[in-house]
Structure 1
């Protein structure tokens, strides 16, 4: 029972291991039941199955972009209102609008065009400044507290989703690479096949060896077929 496991593509290797485990677990062959080599093969295959189809990134990028757009909209709405209000001296409290607009200006009127991290840093400073008692009074006088609270809320949501994305991406990168785990799987499968081959002439092992040998032949044939297509 010979096969060069490194010649198998990802799918065929996974298929061979799956079929080998399934055949071993049928209950027909007591000789292999609960064998340590079978347990090791199952363990490594579980790790391999989780890794070889994994994404490089978490897929949360769309959620982050959406949350960023939401905070941009709330930022621009408040900024633009203050900009318009401050230009109309005939309106009561127009000076409050001017004062608050200058705070926006201090942290960059175009901060919504910045990178995620730069915008977050500036937004946090802007919000901290606007939360000072004297500025809260001005926002309240202009009936802008709801708009301000919405901007704060959108910023909080963005930070939460961004943190989730960063954590998920870090977890993915910390997983074993597919190439590394494949070597472990090949080693475990090779040890299992070699052991069965050694035991093939021992009473009780003949039929089990024959079944596994057929699986190995099928895997080898799939490799030959792949080469012929190229």
Structure 2
């Protein structure tokens, strides 16, 4: 039962430890439940579990990505509207206002390419430009005040989602006990799996070994597919 625990996410490691414990508790092999490796695993999991963010980083990244997409759609719609007016009525008040709006949006750079940090900087620039006092007259002339207000609201939602994601990614690292909690849990899992592996040929241990190996397969799959382990179907004997 070889498993690279370091490649597991914070949540997957906790979930895997929980599965190992549940499988063991549901197994008929009673002797293992009082061994030091198993009791230590339970103890380390109990200490580690509260440190795990309730929402996965993946969920938070997806939330931030969806919020960013809404902002980009808002900008694209305003740009499309302004582009039409600038082309069709270049010498009118609305045409000139549209041109000014396009110049403000252009200051954000290539919004659909580049790294996340560049995207954040770009849309921040666009919103700042469109909200500036100098643009108030052009926004009113183009009758896109409501669209810009929606953009500002969606940008605020994106900022909130992004802050939540960043905070969640750093929460575990900033916890004083976290730097020692994860290695201790990893060590406890390794020791427990090593015990069961060593005993796998003894009477009454084969079934437990097989059940734990199914958990290992789930965790390996989570690494291979870059998914949280709890997103995958658990082994049949891992229910509480």
Shorter-normalised TM-score: what interval?
0.5 to 0.7
* TM, length-normalised to structure 2: 0.56
CA–CA distance in 2 between the matches of 1:130 and 1:124?
Answer: 10
Correspondence list, 1:23-102, <5 A: 44-50=44-50, 57=57, 59-89=59-89, 92-102=93-103
Structure 1 residues 122-133: aligned runs within 5 Å: 122-133=122-133
Secondary structure of the 1:84 match is helix
Q: Using the alignment, how far apart are the partners of 1:99 and 1:115 within structure 2?
A: 27
Q: CA deviation at 1:184?
A: 7.2
**Which runs of 4 or more aligned residues in structure 1 lie more than 6 Å from their structure 2 counterparts after TM superposition?**
40-43, 51-56, 184-187, 218-223
2:88–2:95 contact (8 Å) kept in structure 1: yes
Instruction: Call closer, same or farther: CA 1:223–1:82 in 2, change over 3 Å.
Output: farther
Post-superposition shift, 1:48?
3.9
Q: What's the counterpart of residue 170 of structure 2? A: 170
* 2:184 aligned with 1:180: yes
User: In structure 2, the residue corresponding to 1:114 is in which secondary structure?
Assistant: coil
Deviation at 1:49, TM superposition (A): 4.5
Q: How many Å separate the matches in 1 of 2:66 and 2:188?
A: 40
CA RMSD of aligned residues (A): 4.4
Unaligned runs of 5+ in 2: 1-15, 214-240
CA distance in 2, matches of 1:159, 1:222: 52
CA distance in 1, matches of 2:130, 2:209: 70
The 3-state SS of whatever aligns with 1:112 is: coil
Please identify the structure whose Cα radius of gyration is greater: 1
- Larger CA deviation: 178-187 vs 74-83: 178-187
Provide the TM-score with structure 1 as the length reference.
0.58
Hey, what's the Cα distance between the residues in 2 that align with 1:228 and 1:165?
38
CA contact (8 A) 2:85 2:98 kept: yes
C-alpha distance 115-223 of structure 1, shift in aligned 2 (>3 A): farther
Partner of 1:106 in structure 2?
A: 107
Q: Which runs of 5+ in 1 are unaligned?
A: 1-8, 21-37, 188-217
Tell me the matched-pair count: 175
- Which range moved further: 137-146 or 219-228? 219-228
Aligned residue runs from structure 1 range 11-22, under 5 A? 11=20, 15=25
Q: For the Cα contact (< 8 Å) 1:57–1:172, is it kept in 2?
A: no
Contact kept, 8 Å, 1:86 with 1:94, in 2: the verdict is yes
